[in-house]
Structure 1
Amino acid sequence: MAQVQPELDTGVEVRTSQRSPFRRFLQQIDLQMMVIPGILLIIIFSYIPMYGVLMAFQDYSIFKGFAASPWVGLKHFEMFFNSPEFVSVMRNTLVISLLKLCIGFPAPIILALMLNEVRHMLFKRVVQTITYLPHFMSWVIVAGIVMSLLSTDNGSVNILLENLNLVDEPINFLSIPKLFWSILVTTNVWKEIGFGSIVYMAAIAGIDPHMYEAASMDGASKFKQIYLITLPSIMPVVIIFMILAIGNLLNAGFEDILLLGVNPVLREVSDVIETYVYRIGIQNSRYSYATAVGLFKAVISVGLLTIANYLARRSGNSLW
């Protein structure tokens, strides 16, 4: 009997491994029904529209369609690389993206670390609610608030500066190119810092409290506990979000830049790939050219994501 039992177990394992995928699907039908809507959503709105990428290699005409429009190869890519706006658009995209990455990425982590040290629960919840709220407001509302604050006509910032005798007359902040990047990045941080800290707060909550007790008994200060316990414990989450942020490095933003950079004077510092594609493709009806620019950005983004994931894999944390 001692020799028969392993044979029976082995037979069960074989039958389980040879079970058809369709049968396994039916056994998990309740879970699969929850996944199917998401898969259909991705297929309909993400994969099927990829057929439109063909426009980048055609002189596309809405009257001729994809089948009859002439093929031109890499003509539109060459036009973009040789255009006078190429340098300024790429410079603005990279600078704004790097500023958002270097300032906006660590901001939620710092806020989460600070909130974790707050022991007054009522104050902690009030701060969390106040910092979360801007995320749920549209960029139209946020841009309106910023324009009102910086307005030369009864704007709060100008009134404060005048009362402090720092300026003699109101400053039109949103017409000064050298201030636009600072205003844009500050507004982005203010809008997203609270919502971005939720994941890090959840990761910190999963840390074993006995580790802090042991470190405290060994004489470690709060800063040492953060440096030696909290940060290493949440590092896998930080690395994953860093990979995603690097993959989106060329996504400098669209709504925020379009609404805050509405002044034509700011175009030299506010025109990024997204706004350039919108202006050229939608407003000027150059669909093939705009598609080529968008495809160029997508290819570079995939490359950056792959490189970032490869480097992160060495630390044991990666997306794939």
Structure 2
Amino acid sequence: MNEIEEAAADWLDQLRVERGASPHTVSNYRRDIDRYIADLESHGITALAGVSPVDVERHLADLSAGRLTGRPAAASSVARASASIRGLHRFAVVEGLTADDPAASVRPPRQGDHLPKALGVDEVARLLDAARAGEGPAGLRDWALLEVLYATGARVSEAVALCVDDVDLDDELPVVRLLGKGRKERLVPLGHVAKEALGAYLVRARPGLAARGRGGARIFLNARGAPLSRQSAWEAIQRCAERAGLDRRVSPHTLRHSFATHLLEGGASVRDVQELLGHASVQTTQIYTRVTATTLREIYRSSHPRARAGAATGADGLESGT
């Protein structure tokens, strides 16, 4: 193990143990750093002091152009790789492993302002109705999973990590305890339909699944009785989307986007939605206000008689007066 690899191992351990980063985040950073270290080694660089800003910039440029992986990386992937590399070198300086930070002045490529693609309320209803129509223990589990994701806006990693003790279905307004990024806990209400779906699964399906394996206290289990994985949760949503006849890609994050968008359209404040989503900054939540504004503009253009180009300048049948 060379000097950079040793520093990377210590940095990733710090992220996991001291800063409480999720396994998913640590895994992504590890993949970025492993690729970075391999690239440096291919250029004969194995010591922290041997890395220059030019090396960092070249790596990110090669990643963006596809020279490292065979296909161009998305701007978001390059941005994350840049954050990983900057985190590693900043750690090395703070720990006294090297005097200079070659990544300090390097900035990731500017990302496009991609708005989340939320489902319409009617599309969510179709999706959840399709989930409810599923058969057997897996059908009950998938229905409960989708209802919980849409009712709480949970990240898929938060949903599959739920344990039996994290849910209180006895209150008039049930709640779930979600463990978010940085291991921050938040309580989120659970609506009536989600309570019904989760209760049905816990009583009629989960005991049989749990008897097959060692899922422990986890709520959502697979057919072998083991904890449901993020990938399996994604596949469950895809199955329900296909049954619902939705001709678009639907992911767990689609339900999270839909949850936030529908709350704002229903009158919830950005601050309230921030708390429910577990966002550290309200700026992250504010992207959804642009989503709803876009929706309103589309409604206006399609509905108002004088909103479109070429509208007549006459009365157009509109009543005069106040």
Compute the TM-score of the two structures, normalised by the length of structure 2: 0.23
Q: Which of the pair is proportionally richer in helix? A: 1
Q: Which structure would you say has the larger RCO, counting Cα contacts within 8 Å and 6 or more residues apart?
A: 1
Choose 1 or 2 for highest CA Rg: 1
